[in-house]
Amino acid sequence: MYDLKSIGSPRARELHQEIIAGTIYNMWPEIVVARKWKLIGEATVTDDPNDNYPDIIIKDPHKRLVFSLEITRSWGLSYDRRKGHMLKQRFPEAEFFIYNYETDVLWGLGEDGLWYSSREYEISSRFFERPLLEYIYLPEED
């Protein structure tokens, strides 16, 4: 008999997955349709299956990581900030963002290495026409 709880990695909560799917849907026209770039959910940043798995990434036609967005809750914010810094060292031209759905705050990693909050600043990406927070999908509460 198999212990199904021990097979595979634990998956994020349903709400987390809904936010990822809806956000990709909102970003799709500007990234995939208009630019013909890759917009991928929960994919590695390289071909190494053991590498980091950001929630949403964008790769340009040369398969370079140019954008990363983590979807998190408050308890995961510090881990995702460290992950963003580590990825920024590996991919210095890419943009890194974290969205905390418990507080409805978007964080953007600045060129100075500091994280900036949507509570104080309008967080934007060079790949989108509108402020990035407008692309984040939040399902209606039941």
Whole-number Å distance between alpha carbons of 67 and 54: 10
Q: Which band of pLDDT confidence, cut at 50, 70 and 90, is reported for residue 4?
A: very low
Residue 7: is its pLDDT beyond 70? no
Residue 66 main-chain phi, psi, to 5 deg: -120, -10
CA 141 to chain centre: 22
Average pLDDT over residues 111-119: 97
* CATH class of domain segment(s) 15-135: alpha beta
Tens-digit pLDDT profile for residues 62-73: 999 999 999 999
Q: Taking CA 130 as the corner, what is the angle to CA 55 and CA 70, rounded to the nearest 5 degrees?
A: 15
Hey, how many other C-beta atoms are within 10 angstroms of the C-beta on 102? 12
